[in-house]
Structure 1
Amino acid sequence: MSLDIGVGLPTTGRGPDRTLLGDVREHAVLAEELGLESVWAADHLIPAAPILDSTIALAAAAGATRRVRLGFGVMVLAMRPLAWAAKQLGTLQHVSGGRVLLGVGTGGVPHGTAGWEAAGVPFAERGPRTDAALGALPGLLAGEPTVLPHEPGAPKITLAPAAAVPPILIGGNGPAALRRAAAYGDGWFPSVITPEALAAGVARLRRLAAERGRARPTVTVGIPAALGGGRGGRAAVAEALSRGYGVPLEQALEIPLAGDRHEAAERLAEYARAGAERAVLMTDLPDWRHHYERVAEVNALLNP
């Protein structure tokens, strides 16, 4: 059973000292050399820990690589002026040779409201603004005359050069994300979710897409990983999930990917059977090189 495997780039301050744990270019090159499918950058303006700008980080990764795909995991699109976001995404498509995977999310409560206040965007409007942005973004990227959302009386604008619209993957686990994925997305991108919950979401997604006469969106799942960290690593990741996302600890203990390569491969196969076509493995462990190498071993078992 095949499953595309991606890894998170070290773009977020982690660990006790909240320092950035690695060079984006070095890690993107390693992921490519190890045969992994994609690398992913987290996105926010003012989260609890330091974070690099996702677009610039992925541009650096693009310049250092030739094959590996470049994913936003996920871009908080509604926080940005849409025309500028489209210009940056189109440019990244050009300089990378069309390797972008555009995850889009609304920026949930765990990240706080400080970034929204700094950007001058009401936090309470993030859902409707995301819908409006998703409706207009493909036209902007394709170089079509487009009216910007929230400016109904303004003239249409056309961005040039046009760029291929990347696959749009809607982040989030709840009903709003499923609705958005069925209405606007090429894919659904839930994270911190069990295979059982994923299977239920995929079934719901298929119904919603069929009601709209759309093909079923693909499914990418984000999974915290502690490969090589043993039981202690799994427990530490679960505790962080419970604190940061409000997941009950008993449930959180079921989520992290841990154990040896065979155990990890079988757990990922459960996600594949639940409907996932791609898994993005994220870690807080300090040894990123070792983590990537362990992920590559699991990838070899899943995709011989």
Structure 2
Amino acid sequence: MSTLSVPEIGVFLPTSTPDPERPIIGDVVAAARTAERLGLDSVWATDQLVASAPILEGAVVLAAAAAVTERVRLGWGVLILALRPAPLVAKQVAALQHVSGNRLVLGVGTGNPAHGDGSWRAAGVPVGERAARTDAALELLPDLIAGKPVDAYGAPITLAPGAPMPPLVVAGEVRAARRRAVRFGAEWLSLRPELGALEQGIAELRTLAAELGLAVPAVALVAPLSPDGPDVTTEQAAAFAAAGVRRLILSPTGPDTEADYAHAAEVRTRLRAR
């Protein structure tokens, strides 16, 4: 395996959990420091307003992580973009870029139906408009974040200070999401670690890119750490890399963040030794 095919390895900060019965709310400051000390490439904060389990607010978490680290990338994975006005998101992103030294990776999506419609009702946003609102916001975000004038609200607005647009990662398993990733994203993020489904998604991504005459985004993947340890996780990660994954975000197994991060760091080391 060549060096170029080795994926970056990221981990989630302890802000929530996929399992509502076992919410993992931990010390995000200590976790960010640990991830950087162990040499991991990125740390990620999840997002939702009204979730099926307790969850911390992503911008606050990433600002805290930025304050205690110097190198590790800070991923918002993934921001439910349509829940917020685009200028508000742009202001948050620009501020995070400033306080982190431009280390943000911006993941966006339209939300997981498993959380229900509570967030959309709370935000006063019709859930049926989420895709259209996401696309409209993605059209505006680069200029808003950069501090350029944007005439989309009845009069030109300019946000200051501007900041570099972070790498944009677009999540989703349906064709419309992959099309959105081709149109707007540097990366497509899959939440399905089954190899066959992943390969099908990548094939569709390439087809859409050819149809639109655009570059094929890089591929990122959220996948679990194997309960059988680094040997198994490394083999799984190598298979994902061979399929085309260039960023692998490993999800928590439980409240022992340090053990999970050490597991992820060992996988990173073994992949780079091949």
Whether TM exceeds 0.5 here: the answer is yes
Return closer, same or farther for 1:287/1:15 CA change in 2, 3 Å cut-off: farther
Q: Report if the CA contact (8 A) 2:24-2:254 is conserved.
A: no
How big is the shift at 1:266?
1.0
User: Corresponding residue for 2:200?
Assistant: 200
Name the count of aligned residue pairs: 269
Secondary structure of 1:126's match?
helix
1:134 pairs with 2:103: no
- Write the letter of the residue equivalent to 1:52: L
Note the residue ranges of structure 1 that are not aligned, 5 or more in a row.
226-256
Overall identity of the aligned pairs, in %: 48
Q: Report if the CA contact (8 A) 2:24-2:255 is conserved.
A: no
State how far apart, in whole Å, the 1-side matches of 2:223 and 2:240 are. 10
1:57 pairs with 2:61: yes
State how far apart, in whole Å, the 1-side matches of 2:233 and 2:62 are. 27
Q: Report if the CA contact (8 A) 2:138-2:184 is conserved.
A: yes
1:276 pairs with 2:213: no
Q: Report if the CA contact (8 A) 2:66-2:74 is conserved.
A: yes
State how far apart, in whole Å, the 1-side matches of 2:266 and 2:211 are. 40
Aligned counterpart for 1:124 among listed residues 118, 122, 128: 128
User: Corresponding residue for 2:190?
Assistant: 190
User: Corresponding residue for 1:294?
Assistant: 263
User: Corresponding residue for 2:223?
Assistant: 223
Deviations 1:168-206 (A, max 9, x none): 110111111111101111110011331221112112112
How big is the shift at 1:14?
7.2
Return closer, same or farther for 1:89/1:123 CA change in 2, 3 Å cut-off: same
Deviations 1:182-235 (A, max 9, x none): 11111100113312211121121122123222221111101122xxxxxxxxxx
Secondary structure of 2:208's match?
helix
State how far apart, in whole Å, the 1-side matches of 2:161 and 2:36 are. 28
Q: Report if the CA contact (8 A) 1:3-1:278 is conserved.
A: yes
User: Corresponding residue for 2:228?
Assistant: 259
Q: State the TM-score, normalized to the length of structure 2.
A: 0.94
State how far apart, in whole Å, the 1-side matches of 2:40 and 2:46 are. 18
Secondary structure of 1:219's match?
strand
How big is the shift at 1:52?
0.5
Q: Report if the CA contact (8 A) 2:104-2:166 is conserved.
A: yes
State how far apart, in whole Å, the 1-side matches of 2:23 and 2:233 are. 28
RMSD of the alignment, in Å?
Answer: 1.5
- Write the letter of the residue equivalent to 1:39: V
Secondary structure of 2:263's match?
helix
1:43 pairs with 2:47: yes
User: Corresponding residue for 1:231?
Assistant: none
Note the residue ranges of structure 2 that are not aligned, 5 or more in a row.
none
Q: State the TM-score, normalized to the length of structure 1.
A: 0.85
User: Corresponding residue for 2:32?
Assistant: 28
- Write the letter of the residue equivalent to 1:166: P
State how far apart, in whole Å, the 2-side matches of 1:284 and 1:43 are. 19
Runs of 4+ in 1 over 3 A off after TM superposition: 13-21
User: Corresponding residue for 1:9?
Assistant: 13
